Structure 1
Amino acid sequence: MTKFYGSIEAGGTKFVCAIGDENFKIIERVSFPTETPEETMPNVIAFFQQHQTDLAAIGVGSFGPIDIHKDSKTYGYITSTPKLPWQHYDFIGELKKHFSVPMTWTTDVNAAVYGEYVAGSGKGLNSAVYYTIGTGVGGGAIQEGRLIEGFSHPEMGHMQVKHHPEDDFAGACPFHGDCLEGMAAGPAIEKRLGKKGQDLAADDPYWEIEAYYLAQCVYNTTLLLRPEVIILGGGVMKQQQMMKNVRQAFTKLVNDYVEVPALEQYIVFPALEDNAATVGCFAMAKEAALHN
């Protein structure tokens, strides 16, 4: 009997649910808007019920913060998210009411870095860091096959950054104001300029300001972790000129202090594009099924 693996990428804007095979090929995929749990979760459950007979395991990568500790009373919960309807929501508990298969639970960016590690820009390497720059900013890191976590998962998107000299924007993060997410995420761009980043011309002067913040992110990550590759994904990075801008700004920040790999191999786009988290969830689900 062919066994399939389930993936749930629970993002801030939409949920992407998929079924894949043992080679992480997507067999079927659907997406739903991220509304309230009462509106969104029945769609998720209905999708996987169609494949229940062949479902071996489910991997979930969710927006956070989330509780990742299996010995915790609230393991599998979304915790202090600014999305109020999802605060303290028992995500894994709800799934277990309907499916008796192994499940894995991590952040959406952890799932993405894992996907890139097993099948994308980090394949064959020992370490990788992935950032998504979109509705929010999030980051995940992996070292020798293990996600880097401690008492909880990283929240790299809220690192502090210096203001660009020509940017007087106060920041859009409700918790920290001018952290990385507050200065560089999609909503910050729109709040600052009065229009979405996708509506800006490729040569708009703002993109150099954006690159300055993202370069600080790469700089901080380089000095803290020295990974073999840093992968930048998400909607803001759909602006193809951004990669060149970030590499240039990063070079100025480092100022030859440390040696880094060739930037064309060090600061890169996700090879799996928008499928990184889905593939990561498949891979984690497959491991859970093997070890169950």
Structure 2
Amino acid sequence: MSINLWGGVKAGASGTVTKRQTVGKNAEVMSEFRTMFEAQKESASKVESKDGDTITISQRGNITQKLEELKKIHQQTDYSGMTDVEKYRSIKDRYDEFFPCIAGKLETNYETYEPVAIQITAELAETIPGYPHADKYRKENYTEFLKEVRGYQGLSNTELVEKTKERYSKTGNITEKVEIMRELWGLGVIDGESYGIFTASLKYLERQQYKSTFNVVNVDEQSEHYKNWLKNGGMENLEVGWKQLRDNLFQNINVKKLYGEEKERELEDLFGVLGGK
């Protein structure tokens, strides 16, 4: 199982660290940024599709601003004396705070959040020797590394599922569900095949959601209208339960026929634990 939490994005290190500050000061900077950012209004622009429909794109400006501030925090953070686990946790926690469930956002709105994936991967590569290509961060080794980052060493798979649900279940939207599945893959609870089946099933849900939103029969995924709908959070903001995700998967993918009875049972059991009975 090869794990890459950032959607296959590979980025080299960039930028030069010129000014350093303590981790305590880092927390102060983050607090100041949160206060400033929450006080500002979200910038927005409108895009008209070839069909004449107008969709508001209201996320890019804020993403750019957040990334600029996060880059400053990174450049001003003193990582000396930290272990690789502490470095990873420090960087990842910052991004988790300002871009919650980023792996889920990448699966449902990749084009919008790709810059986030590129920047965090670059910061991790710059800070942690060998990341992400060294054996330490690949396959089963990454699973053990992530467990150490989370403080989950020695937990059973059932306990890992409960911890992951608790960590990411906040609003009930689809990005949280995807994030949970992605993290369970990283923690070794499920394999890459199971995660791939799950994400493949999301395309069926995506098309169905588009049809119901615009009351259309046919879907052109290459149309500007469809792409703009995704960029504007058409899937990202969808509230969905585990049962709906379970039903969507098994109604659209014949898991038993394509992957075998054992895989079907494994996914059924997982959805049962997650709340999809």
For normalisation by structure 1, the TM-score amounts to 0.34
Q: Answer with 1 or 2: which has the greater Rg.
A: 2
Higher strand share: 1
Higher helix share: 2
For normalisation by structure 2, the TM-score amounts to 0.35
